[in-house]
Structure 1
């Protein structure tokens, strides 16, 4: 029995302080790892294509696309860092040390906060484009959007520092045994995090998109009725209406992946076992894989840019001037 117990420990030589290895059926563990690893790789690859597309082609350097670029960066980091390490934590003992554990949790919080901030800015962008179209070109410029993106990432950095300040000062202070990587947030910091990254953004997105869709539906009806004197002005805004519906799908999918994780912890996260918590977290992460698929379905420019990238036409000197709209 002593040999069996030692075999189940992460570090048999540290018998008194070692965690136990995660237990799972071999075939199930292999199948889950292959599936989740494929999702992780797909997430990183698809979002990298979005980043290349928006960054390379000049025609795509619009305010809205700059917000999509920022979102793609956070989604790319999810596929490159958050997903693989989450799989590693679920299936193996943590052997990378307390400092790496703290840095991973810190980066994950930054990515999550930035994703939420990007979604709020996307909602604001669509609100101004649809509800205040006359002032939109003058108020929403590429330079101002880039400043907002920088503020978003800086705010995410400061927020994550506040939430994890104890672990940043003393990495591994909450670890009860060797071989684990956990994060413990005190009540006050947890409440602030819930308000900043869940309650307030959800409320803002809901209010903004409620107004957007009320206006979008009324304009769509007016376009179908062919009101004299209004038809030309409304037709000119059809691209904005289409963008509003597309980004509305983006936000809806985000909420479907985002809300279950926070809602379960809000009503009683202590009742979850480790596996349930992991799969809820991966549901949240899977939103990063769905976003570029939404672009591929609804944005013709992404399909055109993807064709140029895959066929290596992007290597041509004048490829950045290609008309992908």
Structure 2
């Protein structure tokens, strides 16, 4: 994925009713952010947005990369999801193919941050998140094992660049249903601190619609700053943001990179990003330490009153 930001917006939520069976049609990656339910609370355009996504701005903010990825097909390429349904709690092989305008499977890609294709899988309620790196067979079929803990609607997002001269990066999306008993969860309230696997991550700065702003994330363990983060996919951290409601997608890489002579291996990882609009977002930070990758998750609101979404002092 390129340094900088790319945003993909998704529409069409899957319907479900509390306490009923979800999506019964038929029938891991270690990067997981499972959020305990809280008590309360580039490409193409967007035809419509849910109410929550319109908070603080209405239209997509000017100056941000326009959202895309609303389509399974874009610029002559199609995401052909061969596994549109799985069963919650059961390990399943997720399989898909990227096809060109002639319907042929794409078998050549540009490598970005060590991978030909990056895959994000997230539940519609943003409680379950996966950042996956599937394996491609010689015939162009991609596959990766998944074990989704909860029934409900999910979004599968494939981010790639074909190995074709002057090809642009594409992000294609498709819906995935996990069958089982569905119980909706509430998005956790905004908080400037997140805990994961014994680590604490502090978020400073704010996500602003339509213009770039700085975000800093500081990693500590047992009250001590972590100063020996390890490179993961060529960076000390990777950040993904998903907009609540339509799952508009934003991916940025940090400012600087390992070995550039100026970027330190922690405790802070800094990013520059712009939200496509106001609204509530869920941020997922992947970082590696002592050989293991961890994912910290935050809820933020872009486009709120000035100063209300600035977390901490070390980011200013």
Shared fold, TM over 0.5: no
Structure with max Cα Rg: 1
More helix by share: 1
Q: TM-score, normalised by structure 2?
A: 0.21
More strand by share: 2
Q: TM-score, normalised by structure 1?
A: 0.20
